[in-house]
Amino acid sequence: MRVIFAKSMAIEVDMASQFTDVPVSPSNGPSDRDGFSGNLEDFQNPHPITVRTQQMLALASPDETGALNCAGEGLFSIRIMPGSEDRLLLLLDTLIKECVARGAALATLSDKSAMDFGGELVGFSIEEPANRRLHRPGPEEIGASGRSSSAVNPAYSIVPSRKFTIRLWPRVQGLRDVWRGVAASKVETRLDAIVSALEHRGPALAEERRISGERRRVEIEQAEEAFRRGERDAAALERLESDAKSWRRARDLNLYLDALEASAAEVDPEWLRWARDQASRIDPLADPSLRRLENGQLHQSARIREKSGY
């Protein structure tokens, strides 16, 4: 099987035979397992990030799970078990060079290395999960237990899985972002799909951002329209309450004038006309053509007058 892994390193190899799940032993070191001696001189012009990663791994101490963590400004996130450094460096160098060959530029995002595909920053991390197995005491541990009752052997042993997991970031809905190595297929055999996923992540991120921006724009417009509608409703309600208050005043005045005319009191006709005019002036229903609601509908003044009794 010829894949981009071989193309990037200017060699042609059978990936299935080069990468096998062979356990690490003193007689079977990384060179036999990975087909790479671990010396960066064996690379054809290793990328500077690959060189820095090798240096950081050489200085790293195993954590509580026995893993080596490579984290530094301008580096990709790496977490592997001791003995996998050679394979990791070859894989990392291939990923970087193939992305660059497809038009990506190296960039930094939050102190991590990233690939700039058309202005969109994407990246990846490489991790080697460890397996936990029941611990089988060796001869020295058995001897120590026999000599001292205080000797305690661990219940479990951490065993390297030799299976890499590559995670792409940021996550994009609808796109795959995790590749896990399994016994029958290592991630190296799927590098073309992984690099393509990184390359296509840029346009997908731009489209996702466009859709998100359009959705946000619509939400803002709807919120602004709701605010304006609320202001219009508040103004209309204030107008309505004011009209109702004026209408009650006009009704009270007209009722009083009606009672005054019906009484035996002498009323000056000129003054009565003036009083009626004042009542009409403050009555919002006196001239329907001039009093409109905010929604453009005319007051039904006749009907309201009929219900009001005057």
Nearest to 34 by CA among 17, 48, 9, 55: 17
d(CA 181, CA 164): 5
pLDDT of residue 71: 76
Q: What is the pLDDT of residue 112?
A: 87
Report helix, strand or coil for 163: coil
What confidence score (pLDDT) does residue 65 get?
85
Output the CA–CA distances (angstroms, integers) from residue 30 to 6, 22, 39, 85, 259, in the order listed: 18, 10, 11, 8, 114
Q: How far is CA 54 from CA 41, 49, 150, 188, in A?
A: 12, 9, 40, 19
Ranges under pLDDT 50 in the chain: 1-38, 292-310
Report the C-alpha gap between 38 and 82 in whole angstroms. Answer: 13
CA 142 to chain CA centroid, Å, is 53
Cβ neighbours of residue 93 under 8 Å, at least 6 residues apart? 8, 9, 43, 46, 47, 50
Looking at residue 154, what is its pLDDT? 67
pLDDT per residue over 168-194, tens digit each? 999 988 899 999 987 656 888 899 999
Cross-strand pairs, 115: 106, 122
In angstroms, the CA 198 to CA 21 distance is 27
**DSSP code string of 178-207:** EEE-BTTB-GGGGHHHHHHHHHHHHHHHHH
- Taking the C-alpha atoms of residue 239 and residue 284, their distance in angstroms, rounded to an integer, is 10
pLDDT of residue 110: 84
Which residues does 63 contact at the CB level (< 8 Å), separation at least 6? 69
Q: Where in the chain are the domains?
A: 4-213, 236-308
